[in-house]
Chain A
Amino acid sequence: MNNKNKLFKVVAEVFNVKLNSIDMNTNSNNIKNWDSLGMINLITEIEKTFNIKFDILEIPLLHSIKIIIEKLEKKGIMF
């Protein structure tokens, strides 16, 4: 599975939505469960899946798939 699919799968499973509803434009405004609590679980699961740690100042910015990918790329994860 490539990293994009891996990420989509984590997002879908954390927020309990269908995998095919996730695309590059998915963000916290178009997923109901992507609230502050959902955010905590999302961070934990992404960190676990890609074996990285987000910087604390990055965390409040992680509100869309695009930004998450951007931050992961910075940590050497290839998309």
Chain B
Amino acid sequence: MIINMKWPQNLLNDSNKALNNGSIIEVRKILKKISKLSRKMRGKKLKLGIVRTFTIEAQIDFIKLALSVLPCNIEIKVADIDNIEQEILDLNSKLLKWSPDIILILWRLEELIPSFKSNPNNLNLKKYKNFVNKLKLRINEMIDIYTSLTNTPLIISTMPITKKINIYDTNNLISFRKIFEEINLYIFKLNEKYTNISIFDFNLWSSIIGKNSYDRKLDFFARQPISSSSIGLFASEISRSIRPLFFSSAKAIVLDADNVLWGGIVGEDGINNIKIGNDFPGNIYKTIQEFILRLKSQGILLFLISKNNEKDVNNVFSKVDTMPLKLNDFDAIKINWNKKSINLKEIASDYNLGLDSFVFVDDQKFEREEMKFNLPQVYTLEISENPIDILSSLENCWFFDRIKTSKEDKIRSLDYNLESKRKLLKDSMKNTENFLISLKLNAAISKLSKNNISRTSQMLIKTNQFNLRTQRHSELQLNKFMINPFNILLILSLSDKFGNQGIVGLIFGCKEKDNTIFIDSFLLSCRALGRGAEKALWYAFINQANKYKIKKIKAEYIVSKKNSQVSSLYEELGMSCVNKTRFKTVYELILPYKYKKPSWIKIGLL
């Protein structure tokens, strides 16, 4: 399910219909409509480069459409057939010169080892092993060189099995099946070693779609293997694989209890009659709960909002022993008779989360409509009352997709719990500074480096609120920043008496001529707000600038939809405004300048 809340529903429906129908004419008509949308509706620009060993160019408009609906303003370049290394390992190749945002490799074993087109049973074991090892070596070398050349994310497909395999082959020492499995396993393991590699499971896709995914006739005629009836699904699968690299994922799920977590209504049917466990239909609800636990392990926060008597719900969790979910798996619980939108809004503010990072799950149409009406930013999952449908909708929700769970994500859930504890403490204290002192805050300032670049670029992409210029730099750009030793690139890690939050902020100053430094980026993760951590970062920055004998600091606040809370930050930090328009404010500060060290926070410099 696509998460596009910017487009009118009928355009999304038409797009889906055209993709499923497999008609290039219809797809082109929709693309034409999309090209007339406003720039804002079309979304951010994305350049996808495809290297491949088979024909896909006649079907490229399908991929274009599947990505346009994300929404993004997609451009695609398909490299010459079979030229894999030539295109991705040469900075002067047509493809890399075009500077794509992402590259996708689509390949098949048949083309990589042409002799396998004939019968491998004619080979002897030694020759066969030789082929496989050579191919592994080729892939390994390719990725090794690629990752040392560029940080552009690379998606590698597994190899689809398009050959009919007979029983003899399956049981033979030398078999096609074995080669496919061995090479595909090798591909799967690549992302253990490299950070900007992800996998597109072409093989799984073609086995799920089955026989209809493959067009043998057009494969022989034009080397175009993907059938017209399945190309739309293929394109959507590619779109789904690319999405989490460039778009935000859900951070939280809000669940209803009755008829979502278990079958039946506990307040009416009684605790002994609700359906949850190993028997039908309780086994479906059990699987739903297990899926939710999997989301939790991926760093998604769990919230329970139920119109119920608190005691009834608590009883289910404490007395029914066939429930995979436990009460303390939830980060917060609201069991009352208030409007669900009010409860959700409270949670969003308690946890410092944007409403657009929530998924709302409720089997009652009324509740879904209430949420959509009052909080349209929340992604309300469309489901029926049928539990299998609820399960499938959860599994097919693209919004939960994320590529890799970084260490920070894993501690996030733990950390948000700490956030609640901190909040309690704050309520009981009147004086903010006293409160901050009681937290025993510790700010560790370090330089941007290979060790923190992945988390840093993640923050640049995700942070909206405390972000002065909202520059979405890629890792490649960050690497460029690191080349000039006089750039001041500081990273902030924060801990307090409740725990370690890891990297939560950054400030990047770029050296310009006349001993001037320009602040390209300054941001704090929403987990670190309200602690004056920005002052620690600023103190460290000024310190460093004084050290480098910088004469002037230039800075900008660029207005975005979400960053109004920092509109006057630079004034508070001592800078003077030199120009102000509706879209941005420009500041200057003449050095040397002494900025008062914040008293409530211990600062560990570099």
Contact = CB atoms under 8 A, between A and B. Distances in A.
Given A36-B222, A37-B57, A37-B58, A44 B24 contact: yes
B58 A48 contact: no
A14 B24 contact: yes
A9 B292 CA distance: 50
B222 A40 contact: yes
Contact of A41 (B58, B217, B220): B58
B25 A45 contact: yes
Nearest to A9: B25
A46 to B, nearest CB: 11
B224 A40 contact: yes
A59 interface: yes
Contact of B22 (A38, A43, A48): A48
Nearest to A37: B58
Interface string A12-45: 0110100000000000000000001111110111
B23 interface: yes
Interface residues of A, number: 20
- Residue picked from B22, B24, B57, most chain A C-beta under 10 Å: B24
A59 B28 CA distance: 24
Contacts of A56: 217, 220-221
B203 interface: no
Contacts of A43: 218
B25 A13 contact: yes
A10 interface: yes
Contacts of B57: 37
A19 to B, nearest CB: 13
Interface string B51-84: 0000101100000000000000000000000000
B228 interface: yes
A58 to B, nearest CB: 10
Contacts of A47: 228
Nearest to B61: A41
Contacts of A45: 23-25
Contact of B218 (A16, A40, A48): A40
Contact of B24 (A36, A41, A54): A41
A32 B582 CA distance: 50
Nearest to A13: B25
A40 B55 contact: yes
A38 B22 CA distance: 16
A14 B218 contact: no
A38 B25 CA distance: 12
B25 A10 contact: yes
Interface string A45-63: 1011000011010011000
Given A10-B25, A14-B25, A48 B228 contact: yes
Contacts of B23: 45, 48
Interface residues of B, number: 15
A42 to B, nearest CB: 10
A78 B217 CA distance: 25
B228 A59 contact: no
Contacts of A14: 24-25
A59 B24 contact: no
Interface in B206-228: 217-218, 220-222, 224, 228
Contacts of A37: 55, 57-58
Contacts of A16: 28
A56 B216 CA distance: 10
B224 A59 contact: no
A26 B222 CA distance: 23
Contacts of A53: 217
A74 B147 CA distance: 55
A59 B22 contact: no
Contacts of A60: 221
Contacts of B25: 10, 13-14, 45
B410 to A, nearest CB: 46
Interface in B270-323: none
Interface in B318-339: none
Contacts of B22: 44, 48
Contacts of A44: 22, 24, 218, 228
Contacts of B228: 44, 47-48
B364 to A, nearest CB: 41
A53 B218 CA distance: 12
A16 B28 CA distance: 10
Nearest to B216: A56
B60 to A, nearest CB: 10
A37 B23 CA distance: 15
B35 to A, nearest CB: 14
Interface string B26-51: 00100000000000000000000000
B297 to A, nearest CB: 43
Nearest to A40: B58
A10 to B, nearest CB: 7
A7 to B, nearest CB: 13
A59 B221 contact: yes
A25 to B, nearest CB: 23
B208 to A, nearest CB: 22
22 contacts: A10-B25, A13-B28, A14-B25, A37-B55, A37-B58, A38-B58, A39-B222, A40-B55, A40-B58, A40-B218, A40-B222, A40-B224, A41-B24, A41-B58, A44-B22, A44-B218, A45-B23, A47-B228, A53-B217, A59-B217, A59-B221, A60-B221
Interface of B: 22-25, 28, 55, 57-58, 217-218, 220-222, 224, 228
Nearest first, the 8 A-B pairs at minimum CB distance are: A44-B228, A40-B58, A13-B25, A37-B58, A56-B217, A41-B24, A40-B222, A41-B58
Given A13-B25, A40-B224, A48-B23, 15 more contacts: A10-B25, A13-B28, A16-B28, A37-B55, A37-B57, A40-B58, A40-B221, A40-B222, A44-B24, A44-B228, A45-B25, A47-B228, A48-B228, A54-B217, A59-B217
